[in-house]
């Protein structure tokens, strides 16, 4: 089984991750799981949430305008990793990165120190 973030490559990542703290969802026939996107690459994403589908389950990853079939490949506490069935475009990763930077820079110091209700 492949595990997101466990690339055998050394040195620079072949597919760089983009930090992105935005709302996301993992959708299954049984229901949707709300999450927060922690980071994103062309081939997968790391998410934070309070509940997830089962490890190994096929899901639809949805964040902003990105909607892609994926597999939930690992769960560790309140984080999980998904691997996309088909890599997304580099432009999409860059767009999400820009949006995340904008959203994160718009937060006031009081908002940054306040507990989040995600």
pLDDT tens by residue, 21-34: 789 999 999 999 99
6 lies in some domain: no
Query: What is the domain extent for residue 56?
Result: 18-106
pLDDT tens column, 38-94: 989 999 999 999 999 999 999 999 998 899 999 999 999 999 999 999 999 999 998
Check pLDDT > 90 for residue 117. no
CATH classification at residue 94: 2.40.10.220
Residue 5, classified by CB atoms within 10 Å of its CB into exposed (0-12), middle (13-18) or buried (19+), is middle
Q: Is residue 2 part of a domain?
A: no
pLDDT at 118 over 50: no
Number of domains in the chain: 1
> Which run of H or of E encompasses 80?
strand 79-84
Q: Does residue 11 form part of some domain?
A: no
Residue 113 lies in a domain: no
Q: What predicted TM-score, i.e. pTM, was given to this entire model?
A: 0.72
At residue 106, does pLDDT exceed 80? Answer: no
Residue 30 inside a domain? The answer is: yes
Q: Is the residue at 99 inside a domain?
A: yes
Which backbone phi and psi does 21 adopt, to 5 degrees?
Answer: -95, 85
Q: Is residue 111 part of a domain?
A: no
Q: Is residue 85 part of a domain?
A: yes
Torsion of CA 65, 67, 70, 74, to 10 degrees: 40
Q: Rounded distance, CA 45 to CA 19, Å?
A: 10
């Amino acid at each position: 089984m492949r595990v997101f973030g466990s690339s055998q490559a050394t040195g620079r990542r072949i597919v760089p991750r983009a930090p992105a703290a935005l709302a996301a969802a993992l959708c299954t026939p049984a229901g949707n799981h709300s999450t927060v996107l922690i980071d994103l690459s062309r081939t997968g994403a790391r998410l934070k949430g309070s509940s997830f589908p089962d490890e190994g389950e096929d899901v639809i990853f949805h964040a902003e305008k990105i909607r892609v079939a994926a597999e939930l490949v690992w769960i560790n506490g309140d984080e999980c990793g998904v691997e996309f069935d088909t890599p997304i475009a580099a432009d999409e990763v860059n767009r999400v990165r820009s949006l995340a930077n904008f959203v994160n820079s718009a937060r006031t110091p009081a908002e940054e120190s306040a507990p989040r209700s995600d």
